[in-house]
Amino acid sequence: MERLGICFSGGANATQIVNCAKLAEELGYESVWLAEGHGGDQFAILAACATATSRVQLGTAITSAFVRSAPTIAMAAMTVDQLSGGRFILGIGSSHKVQVEPEHGLVYTKPLTRVRETVELVRALISDGNVQYHGQTLNVETFELWFTPYRKRLPIYLSAVFPKMTELTGEIGDGLILTRSTLESGAAMRQHLIAGGERSGNDGTGIPIVSLLPTAIGDSKTDACDKLRPGFAAYTGYFPRYNRMTADQGFADEATAIAEAWARGDQDGAAAAVSDGLIDASGIAGTPEQCRAKIEEIRASGIDVPLIAPFANGPGAEEEIAAVIRACAPAG
């Protein structure tokens, strides 16, 4: 079976996501993931997916190390893991300063340290049932579980964009989550995983790499790209980290033009600055045949599990997302 997952990042409501998760399982997808942000509570929706499915893995891609307390993250993860019978993967990331501070009113500092300490605390609480933790960014006098977890250790994947966080993943993580990766990303990130793994005796060569890839189908590649332009513009225009990533991927002119348009409030202009080449490099867009061929390229490039990430909202959201799920379904 070809390894393929799907990630939801908003647009569809909770019921629609659960229906699409059931469809993905029926069609042979390996995993279902939920992003965090503005699309509903990811753990609540994954809990619903857990009771509606029986085989697919379920993961967060990602939960922020800043906007929930570490004990809350641990308990939420254990809850979904129990409801799913041990099918849960906890994806943790640092999120972004432009989200954490203005949207949540929280201080964003030392992201690498915060992620490291969150992983340490979560693992200790799940394993031992109680924890006392005093770090640079986390200080928990004591926290005790009043229930027994389904498993004493859950897989924890870390999200990364640049080398330092990727090396941290190699050092302490069970998997790596990328977003909008190119065909060059898998091999490059693998080297950073290996370098990080050498610091702790981990085998960075065996750490799985998954990647969220914006996905749209259409009657032509241009038609599909048009569906993805607004999302690419939002991520590249609003998030400095993704803007830099876009430039580093060889699209510096697009990154600059998108950021400038976004800064002046011209979202249509930002979307118009997203080229077909940028989308083709770090997304999946085209006819169903073109999309399936691109997924094969991505898998061959060193991404262990491509995660298609369709986006749709409004009355027809579920039907549009389901159409992408069917079009990209793995071959038997």
Please tell me the CATH superfamily of domain 5-220+286-328, with its number. Luciferase-like domain (3.20.20.30)
Q: What is the Cα–Cα distance from 74 to 114, expressed in whole angstroms? A: 15
Mean pLDDT over the full length of the chain: 96
What is the C-alpha separation between 276 and 285, in angstroms, rounded? Answer: 9
Amino acid 1: pLDDT: 61
pLDDT (tens digit per residue) in 185-234? 999 999 999 999 999 998 899 999 999 999 999 999 999 999 999 999 99
Q: Which residues contact 63 (CB under 8 A, 6 or more apart)?
A: 36, 42, 43, 73, 76, 90, 91, 92, 93
pLDDT at 318: 96
Q: Quick: pLDDT tens for 143-176.
A: 999 999 999 999 999 999 999 999 999 999 999 9
Per-residue pLDDT of 301-330, as tens digits, reads 999 999 999 999 888 999 999 999 999 999
Q: What pLDDT does residue 332 have?
A: 65
At 95 the pLDDT is: 93
The pLDDT value recorded for residue 316 is 92
**pTM listed for this prediction:** 0.97
Contacts 24+ apart (CB under 8 A), 40-44: 40/10, 40/13, 40/14, 43/76, 43/77, 43/79, 43/80, 44/14
> Is 171:204 a contact under the CB 8 Å cutoff?
no
How far apart are the C-alpha atoms of 134 and 121, rounded to whole Å? 10
Q: Answer whether residue 265 shows pLDDT above 90.
A: yes
The position carrying tokens 């400038």 is 260
Q: Please state the rounded mean pLDDT for residues 75-86.
A: 98
In this predicted structure, what is the pLDDT of residue 10?
Answer: 87
Domain ranges, ordered by start, for the chain? 5-220+286-328, 221-285
Tens of pLDDT along 18-75? 999 999 999 999 999 999 988 899 999 999 999 999 999 999 999 999 999 999 999 9
The pLDDT of 280-288, averaged and rounded, is: 97
Q: Is residue 140 predicted with pLDDT exceeding 70? A: yes
